[in-house]
């Protein structure tokens, strides 16, 4: 029992700890590429918002948007929703890569992705669906 408790505590600490490298990262990097990607995401938000609010899509624990409930989207709109989510995820993946590159450390991409995922989940609006580290979905209160 004691070994399991210690293992759980170490696992939790690793999830919440900020690595020294990431503590130095500028997550608000402002290169032309980052600015363009953020602009794309912002411009797309009016189309994404109703999908978040309906529960059709949610914020995945990997920093991407996930089609969580396709049944919340009329059949005639599913292809366009899938394309919209694919575009969103393309930009999110590019954002993580560009922020890491802007910091001069492309090897930080995974840590930057995790940090963005946590921030977006914490800033999600009430009623939006968010995936926890274990993969379970919960509606934000």
The tens-digit pLDDT sequence of the chain (141 residues) is 444 333 333 333 344 444 545 567 888 888 999 999 999 999 999 999 999 999 999 999 999 999 999 999 999 999 999 999 999 999 999 999 999 999 999 999 999 999 999 999 999 999 999 999 999 999 999
Cβ-proximal residues to 62 (8 Å cutoff; 6+ apart), any chain: 113, 117
* 45, 53 contact by CB (below 8 A): no
Q: With H, G, I as helix, E, B as strand and everything else as coil, classify residue 138.
A: strand
Residue 85, Cα to own-chain centre: how many angstroms? 12
pLDDT for the residue 22: 58
pLDDT for the residue 46: 98
pLDDT for the residue 41: 98
pLDDT for the residue 21: 52
pLDDT for the residue 75: 97
Domain regions of the chain by residue span: 26-139
DSSP string, 73-128: S-GGGHHHHHHHHHHHHHHHHHHHHHHHHHTT-GGGHHHHHHHHHHHHHHTPPTT-
Crossing angle (nearest 10°) for helices 109-122 and 78-102? 120
Question: Can you give the pTM of this predicted structure?
Answer: 0.82
Cα–Cα distance list, 57 to 81, 113, 133 (Å)? 9, 19, 17
């Amino acid at each position: 029992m004691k070994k399991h408790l210690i293992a759980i505590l170490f696992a939790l600490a690793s999830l919440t700890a900020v690595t020294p490298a990431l503590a130095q990262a500028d997550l608000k990097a402002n290169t032309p590429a980052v600015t363009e990607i953020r602009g794309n995401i912002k411009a797309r938000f009016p189309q994404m918002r109703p999908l978040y609010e309906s529960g059709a899509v949610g914020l995945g624990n990997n920093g991407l948007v996930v089609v969580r409930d396709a049944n919340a989207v009329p059949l005639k709109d599913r292809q366009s929703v899938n394309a919209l989510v694919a575009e969103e995820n393309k930009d999110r993946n590019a954002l993580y890569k560009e922020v890491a590159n802007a910091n001069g450390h492309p090897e930080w991409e995974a840590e930057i992705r995790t940090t963005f995922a946590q921030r977006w989940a914490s800033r999600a609006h009430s009623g939006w669906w968010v995936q926890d580290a274990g993969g379970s979905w919960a509606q934000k209160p």
